[in-house]
Copies of this chain bind each other. A is one copy, B any other.
Amino acid sequence: MSENKIPYKIYLSEEEMPRTWYNLRADMKNKPAPLLNPGTGRPMTAEELEGVFCKELVAQELDNDTPYFEIPGEIRDFYKMYRPSPLVRAYCLEEKLQTPAKIYYKFEGNNTSGSHKLNSAIAQAYYAKQQGLKGVTTETGAGQWGTALSMACGYLGLDCKVFMVKCSYEQKPFRREVMKVYGSSVTPSPSDTTNVGRKILAEFPGTGGSLGCAISEAVETAVSTPGYRYVLGSVLNQVLLHQSVIGLESKIALDKYGVKPDIVIGCAGGGSNLGGLIAPFMGEKLRGEADYRFIAVEPASCPSFTRGRYAYDFCDTGMVCPLAKMYTLGSSFMPSADHAGGLRFHGMSSVLSQLYADGYMEAVSVKQTDVFRAAEEFARVEGILPAPESSHAILAAVNEAKRCRETGEEKTILFGLTGTGYFDLVAYEKFHSGEMHDFVPTEEDIARSLAQLPEVN
């Protein structure tokens, strides 16, 4: 296999694109713990979940056994609009680092929503449409997920109501505007359109809102509006299933060139990208067919894997959603306002949590000024302005490549470049002007929010 035959970018042909999603849970010996009803403490049934989520998505959520789900033709057609995403051999970065390591990244930012979130957005919107629903509701913080869902709904002619955390709504008018281009209604949260919103507004009149509050408003609107369901962009099993397209495409592309990664690296907030990227590789590891190192990279300011507890917790601060067993910092944990990027969720996908608990995966946490330094270095040599979230993975990959430079090992590193930073330039500006700081929660900070874990544990 001649190394120099590998192009800068590997694009699969349409025929080579995956026709199925891969359900990692089917190959896990220890299945992820089920969602629990917060009222009864018992596993959520399909019937209970179908009041909030689309029927087909509930089936996907609960299925721990079926390894492959066929991707419906209409979703595959939509994927063809922006997929296959390129698998890039980072020749320029390798040269810059003077490393013997071979670095690849799967770039998911080449679509207008600017991130991998679209892979699941179109799937969730499709099943909602199939079910004959009128529309969906969701929340968005930084706005990546809201934009992706707006694109998907705009394409299918489905109504989309986005609750956007109020401070973000005001600080990121462009994100809001993109969603409107795609026909979504965008409501700053908390709003006076829901009971929970009105209650919070009465209690905290000047609040800038929170993701937890926006989730609660979106869920309330979904369950109280005929023909609507709630959708979510990360954490859930179904989301990881859809995002497996990232890993499947990567593996097909690498297999074509006879390349096997030694290390697979992804940033981790709720786990949607990481879970998708590692899926087929982790499958081989679980089945004992191959071995890989997997590294989850999280912000030092929100370190659920590296400093959280593996326990049942609420997914939202409003405590209306089911309980999930996961590595968590406690649902009241809030990363400092100094924290610029996404990856702010207090918990982590149950699938990834179980794999981490079982020792199949490593995790590291990194400081944000180091992350932005790596982002800028990457932008200059690879020509892509990365999202802050994605840059966590860049930093970890660069650190591994530098280690190879010291040891002389020619390791092959694959990482996920989840998106672009066009809407994060306020953070880049803070970094440049020296106004960006590193925040690491104290032991007391974490102990305080963990003290509020639900009694079911």
Contacts and interface: CB of A to CB of B under 8 A. Distances in A.
Nearest to A17: B7
Contacts of A422: 174, 422-423
Interface string A392-430: 000000000000000000000000000010110110110
A121 to B, nearest CB: 11
A181 B432 CA distance: 8
Which of A8, A177, A183, A381 neighbours the largest number of chain B CB atoms within 10 Å of its CB?
Answer: A177
A180 B78 CA distance: 36
Interface in A60-92: 78, 80-82, 92
Interface stretch (A277-285, A352-360, A382-390): A382-390
A80 B7 contact: yes
A292 interface: no
Copies per complex of this chain:
2
B7 A151 contact: no
For this complex, into which size category does the number of interface residues on chain A fall? 35 or more
Which of A181, A381, A384, A429 neighbours the largest number of chain B CB atoms within 10 Å of its CB?
Answer: A181
A13 B429 CA distance: 37
Interface in A419-452: 420, 422-423, 425-426, 428-429, 432
Contacts of A428: 177-178, 180-181
A155 interface: yes
A427 B382 CA distance: 30
A9 B80 contact: yes
Given A174-B422, A420-B112, A183 B380 contact: yes
Contact of A425 (B14, B81, B178, B376): B178
Which of A7, A376, A383, A429 neighbours the largest number of chain B CB atoms within 10 Å of its CB?
Answer: A383
A127 interface: no
A7 B17 CA distance: 12
B177 A383 contact: no
A81 B382 contact: yes
Interface string A148-172: 0001001100000000000000000
A97 interface: no
B174 A425 contact: yes
Nearest to A379: B181
Contacts of A376: 181
A16 B379 CA distance: 27
A112 B385 contact: yes
A379 B9 CA distance: 26
A369 interface: no
Nearest to A427: B177
A110 interface: yes
A174 to B, nearest CB: 4
B177 A429 contact: yes
Given A154-B380, A383-B151, A177 B81 contact: no
A205 interface: no
B177 A379 contact: no
Interface string A214-230: 00000000000000000
A300 B181 CA distance: 24
A20 interface: no
Nearest to A92: B81
Given A420-B112, A432-B177, A383 B155 contact: yes
Given A174-B422, A177-B425, A178-B428, 5 more contacts: A8-B14, A155-B380, A177-B428, A177-B429, A181-B380
**Which 5 A-B pairs give the minimum distances between C-beta atoms?**
A174-B425, A8-B80, A112-B385, A422-B422, A177-B425
